[in-house]
Amino acid sequence: MTSTTAPLLAVDDLRVHFQLPGTGWFGSGKQTVKAVDGLSIQIERGQTLGLVGESGCGKSTTGRAILRLAPITGGTVRLNSRDLTTLSAAELRPIRRQMQIVFQDPFASLNPRHTVEQIVTEPIWVHNLRPERERVARVRELLTLVGLPGSAMGRFPHEFSGGQRQRIGIARALAAEPDFIVLDEPVSALDVSIQSQILRLLLDLQVQFGLTYLFIAHDLAVVGQMSDQVAVMYLGRIVETATREALYQAPQHPYTQALLSAVPYPDPEIEAKRRRVILTGEVPSPVNPPSGCHFHTRCPIAADRCRVEAPSLRTIGPGHQASCHFAGGPPPELQGAKPGTSLRASP
Q: What span, in angstroms and rounded, lies between the C-alpha atoms of 59 and 7?
A: 20
- The answer for residues whose C-beta is within 8 angstroms of residue 311's C-beta and 6 or more apart is 293, 323, 324, 325, 327
Confidence of residue 337 (pLDDT cuts 50, 70, 90): very low
Q: 234, 251, 282: which is the final residue of a domain?
A: 234
Residue 344: how many other CB atoms lie within 10 Å: 16
In this structure, the answer to whether residues 151 and 222 fall within a common structural domain is yes
Residue 131 to residues 99, 137, 271, 339, Cα–Cα distance (Å): 22, 11, 57, 48
Domain-embedded: residue 102: yes
| 198-216 pLDDT, tens digit each | 999 999 999 999 999 999 9
Q: What span, in angstroms and rounded, lies between the C-alpha atoms of 126 and 162?
A: 26
Range of the domain at 224: 9-234
In this structure, the answer to whether residues 176 and 270 fall within a common structural domain is no
Q: 234, 267, 289: which is the final residue of a domain?
A: 234
Instruction: Give the model's pLDDT for residue 107.
Output: 86
- The answer for residues whose C-beta is within 8 angstroms of residue 240's C-beta and 6 or more apart is 231, 232, 247, 251, 252, 253, 255, 256, 320, 321, 322, 323, 324, 327
The answer, yes or no, to whether residue 347 has pLDDT greater than 50, is no
The answer, yes or no, to whether residue 340 has pLDDT greater than 70, is no
Q: Which residue has the higher pLDDT, 227 or 191?
A: 227
Domain-embedded: residue 161: yes
Domain-embedded: residue 4: no
Instruction: Give the model's pLDDT for residue 254.
Output: 92
In this structure, the answer to whether residues 270 and 296 fall within a common structural domain is yes
In this structure, the answer to whether residues 126 and 21 fall within a common structural domain is yes
DSSP per residue over 36-51, as a string?
EEEEEEEE-TT-EEEE
Strands 229-234, 237-243: pairing is: antiparallel
Instruction: Give the model's pLDDT for residue 219.
Output: 85
In this structure, the answer to whether residues 139 and 185 fall within a common structural domain is yes
Q: What span, in angstroms and rounded, lies between the C-alpha atoms of 45 and 38?
A: 23
In this structure, the answer to whether residues 172 and 261 fall within a common structural domain is no
Would you report the helix, strand and coil content of the chain in percent, each value rounded to 5? 35, 20, 45
Instruction: Give the model's pLDDT for residue 243.
Output: 95
In this structure, the answer to whether residues 140 and 269 fall within a common structural domain is no
Q: Which residue has the higher pLDDT, 85 or 21?
A: 85
Domain-embedded: residue 207: yes
Torsion angle, CA of 96/98/104/110, rounded to 10 degrees?
Answer: 60
In this structure, the answer to whether residues 179 and 209 fall within a common structural domain is yes
Instruction: Give the model's pLDDT for residue 79.
Output: 96
In this structure, the answer to whether residues 249 and 102 fall within a common structural domain is no
| 281-329 pLDDT, tens digit each | 788 888 888 999 999 999 988 899 999 999 999 999 888 999 999 987 5
Domain-embedded: residue 347: no
User: CA torsion sign, 185 to 186 to 187 to 188?
Assistant: positive
Strands 237-243, 180-184: pairing is: unpaired
Q: What span, in angstroms and rounded, lies between the C-alpha atoms of 144 and 41?
A: 34
Q: What is the DSSP letter of 33?
A: E
Nearest to 214 by CA among 62, 75, 320, 346: 62
| 16-54 pLDDT, tens digit each | 999 887 665 655 667 889 999 999 999 999 999 999 998
User: CA torsion sign, 128 to 131 to 133 to 136?
Assistant: negative
Domain-embedded: residue 35: yes
Domain-embedded: residue 345: no
The answer, yes or no, to whether residue 4 has pLDDT greater than 70, is no
In the beta sheet, which residues pair with residue 315? 321
The answer, yes or no, to whether residue 330 has pLDDT greater than 50, is no
Buried b (16+ CB within 10 A) or exposed e, 287-302: eebbebbbbbbbbeeb
**What's the domain count of the chain?**
2
Amino acid residing at 325? H
Decide: 89 and 137 in contact? Cβ < 8 Å.
no
**Strand ranges of the sheet holding 48-52, from the earlier edge strand across to the other edge:** 99-102, 180-184, 212-217, 48-52, 229-234, 237-243, 320-322, 314-317
| 155-183 pLDDT, tens digit each | 999 999 999 999 999 999 999 999 999 99
In this structure, the answer to whether residues 144 and 182 fall within a common structural domain is yes
Domain-embedded: residue 346: no
Confidence of residue 333 (pLDDT cuts 50, 70, 90): very low
User: CA torsion sign, 259 to 317 to 58 to 172?
Assistant: negative
The answer, yes or no, to whether residue 59 has pLDDT greater than 50, is yes
Average pLDDT of span 3-13: 85
Q: 234, 252, 277: which is the final residue of a domain?
A: 234
- Give the pTM: 0.89
| 105-158 pLDDT, tens digit each | 888 999 999 999 999 999 999 999 999 999 999 999 999 999 999 999 999 999
In this structure, the answer to whether residues 88 and 227 fall within a common structural domain is yes
Q: What span, in angstroms and rounded, lies between the C-alpha atoms of 21 and 202?
A: 41
In this structure, the answer to whether residues 171 and 306 fall within a common structural domain is no
For residue 231, give the H/E element and its range: strand 229-234
What's 218's domain CATH number?
3.40.50.300
